């Protein structure tokens, strides 16, 4: 498998040849000349009947650069546009909890696409074969979105090889197109100025164009019902983690939370965000993970709020530091670091200290089942684990504490990393995300952090004590709240 940098170089060569190909219309070449676009398979569109947007990560029918691009291409070609979502049943580490949230978002996509004259088709396993769909609707061209994770990137690379029509992808779920950072960034301090320098070019409203030719479903085309449970009948599917009633998936629910956050919560974000017992952060991470909301929509909404209330500028800046710097650093990490989910991604200082301390005796060791069942001696940790298992989300401050304790209570770093990722991805609605791998690597391996004072087990990695963590907020209240969560 080629490295991401080798792939970037190959895509740059394809894009150059595409730009020079005078057999193609100027309009089409202009549409590809966009930092968000990667031409994965070049050439002229086929004589097909529509342009297909293969929607995978950016699961929304508005504020979606990939859908915008598909519509613009369709308009240039004089064709209708259809968005296609494949309900596969073996998405890595996904279970019923994740699928239920995803499922809730599908009607919003259909409604928002229809308002723009775009069709939306979902086909679920066993009918989800992409290439069959492209053939069934006679695609002239396919536009996809981007996902830096290992498996989804492999699907895109594979499709680029097997398709017979042009295939472009559009980096729709970051503010600054991720290839512009060019290589793995060492820290937030290194990434921040690069990202902020690029911001003015990308902090612009979405076009949300409408299709000039409305898509009409061809007679006899197989589609699955988006309002039914997508997973029904799937036999070898993981149903062991139940949906969380407190969360409602979809673009419309995400926009509601965004408006509430901007209008009523931004003012106190800086103060309350480090208080796990309060509803003080945006809780938009599950929506960002499923692409029900794009980060640009959030950033623009915050900027608009600051225009109305200039005193919120500092809170907006603090939020941008999470949404833009830390989130896009995580995307960069997963994109350019092939070992993002194993100790192999540790920096040299961390490798040395881990090697020195990995055999240190632990005061207590727990099994995975004990951790999963929130059965440790540490009530604060157990409460955080209950938030994860029962609520599908955890406060950032406690995620740090939670993962640090796993390092302390498992026999070595490799096991700590493996178990932290397993639990993170199994229970969090926002799990299986670059943010999760970067967060676990930060806590377990000291990634993006610096060396601290030497101590047993952790070596030079940052340590967090229960006593000092619990003093920073109302830990008693938080524990009560988590223990009262419905099972």
Ligand X SMILES: Cc1cc2nc3c(=O)[nH]c(=O)nc-3n(C[C@H](O)[C@H](O)[C@H](O)COP(=O)(O)OP(=O)(O)OC[C@H]3O[C@@H](n4cnc5c(N)ncnc54)[C@H](O)[C@@H]3O)c2cc1C
Q: Which of 64, 103, 281, 305 binds ligand X (CB under 6 A)?
A: 281
Candidate segments 8-16, 106-114, 353-361, 426-434, binder of ligand X by CB under 6 A: 426-434
Closer of 218 and 263 to ligand X (Cβ): 263
Closer of 105 and 439 to ligand X (Cβ): 439
Closer of 44 and 188 to ligand X (Cβ): 188
Confirm or reject binding of residue 61 to ligand X (CB under 6 A).
no
Confirm or reject binding of residue 424 to ligand X (CB under 6 A).
yes
Q: Which of 7, 208, 396, 412 binds ligand X (CB under 6 A)?
A: 396
| Closest distance to ligand X from the beta carbon of 104 (Å) | 18
Closer of 244 and 443 to ligand X (Cβ): 443
Q: Which of 253, 443, 445, 457 binds ligand X (CB under 6 A)?
A: 443
Strand partners, 139: 50
| Closest distance to ligand X from the beta carbon of 24 (Å) | 38
Number of residues that bind ligand X (CB under 6 A): 29
Q: Which of 11, 29, 283, 351 binds ligand X (CB under 6 A)?
A: 283
Confirm or reject binding of residue 244 to ligand X (CB under 6 A).
no
Q: Which of 139, 141, 403, 475 binds ligand X (CB under 6 A)?
A: 403
Q: Which residues in the 285-344 window bind ligand X by CB under 6 A? A: 285, 288-289, 322-323, 326-327, 330
Closer of 75 and 297 to ligand X (Cβ): 297
| Closest distance to ligand X from the beta carbon of 58 (Å) | 15
Confirm or reject binding of residue 110 to ligand X (CB under 6 A).
no
| Closest distance to ligand X from the beta carbon of 329 (Å) | 7
Residues engaged in binding ligand X (CB under 6 A): 273, 281-285, 288-289, 322-323, 326-327, 330, 396, 399-400, 403, 424, 428, 430-431, 433, 435-436, 438-440, 442-443
């Amino acid at each position: 498998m080629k490295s991401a940098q080798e792939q970037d170089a190959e895509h740059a060569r394809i894009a150059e040849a595409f730009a020079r190909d005078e057999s193609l219309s100027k309009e089409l070449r202009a549409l590809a000349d966009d930092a968000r676009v990667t031409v994965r398979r070049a050439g002229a569109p086929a004589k097909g009947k529509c342009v297909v947007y293969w929607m995978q990560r950016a699961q929304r029918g508005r504020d979606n650069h990939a859908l915008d691009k598909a519509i613009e291409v369709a308009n240039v070609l004089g064709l209708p546009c259809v968005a296609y979502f494949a309900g596969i049943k073996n998405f890595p580490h996904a279970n019923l909890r994740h699928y239920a949230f995803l499922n809730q978002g599908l009607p919003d996509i259909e409604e928002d696409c229809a308002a723009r004259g775009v069709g939306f088709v979902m086909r679920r396993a066993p009918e989800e074969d992409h290439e069959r769909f492209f053939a069934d609707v006679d695609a002239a061209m396919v536009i996809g979105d981007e996902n830096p994770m290992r498996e989804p990137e492999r699907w895109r690379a594979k499709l680029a090889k097997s398709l017979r029509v042009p295939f472009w992808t559009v980096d729709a779920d970051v503010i600054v197109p991720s290839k512009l950072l060019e290589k793995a960034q060492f820290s937030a301090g290194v990434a921040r100025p690069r990202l902020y320098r690029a911001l003015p070019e990308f902090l612009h409203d979405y076009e949300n164009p409408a299709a000039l030719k409305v898509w009409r479903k061809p007679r006899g085309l197989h589609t699955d019902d988006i309002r039914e449970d997508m997973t029904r009948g799937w036999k070898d599917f993981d149903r062991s983690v139940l949906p969380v009633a407190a969360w409602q998936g979809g673009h419309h629910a995400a926009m509601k939370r965004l408006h509430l956050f901007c209008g009523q919560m931004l003012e106190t974000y800086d103060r309350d965000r480090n208080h796990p017992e309060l509803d003080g952060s945006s809780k938009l991470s599950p929506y960002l993970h499923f692409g029900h909301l794009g980060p640009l929509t959030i950033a623009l909404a915050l900027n608009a709020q600051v225009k109305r209330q200039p005193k919120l500028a500092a809170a907006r800046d603090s939020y941008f530091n999470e949404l833009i710097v830390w989130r896009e650093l995580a995307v960069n990490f997963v994109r350019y670091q092939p070992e993002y989910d194993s100790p192999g991604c540790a920096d040299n200082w961390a490798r040395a200290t881990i090697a020195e301390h990995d055999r240190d005796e632990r005061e207590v060791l727990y099994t995975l089942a004990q951790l999963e069942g929130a059965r440790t001696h540490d009530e604060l940790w157990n409460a955080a684990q209950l938030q994860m298992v029962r609520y599908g989300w955890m406060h950032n401050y406690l995620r740090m504490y939670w993962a640090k304790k796993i390092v302390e209570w498992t026999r070595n770093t490799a096991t700590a990393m493996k178990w932290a990722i397993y639990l993170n991805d199994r229970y969090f609605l926002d799990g299986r995300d670059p943010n999760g791998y970067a967060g676990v690597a930060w806590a377990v391996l000291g990634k993006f952090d610096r060396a601290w004072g030497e101590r047993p087990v952790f070596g030079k990695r940052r340590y967090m004590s229960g006593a000092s963590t619990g003093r920073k907020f109302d830990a008693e209240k938080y524990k009560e709240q988590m223990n009262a969560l419905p099972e």
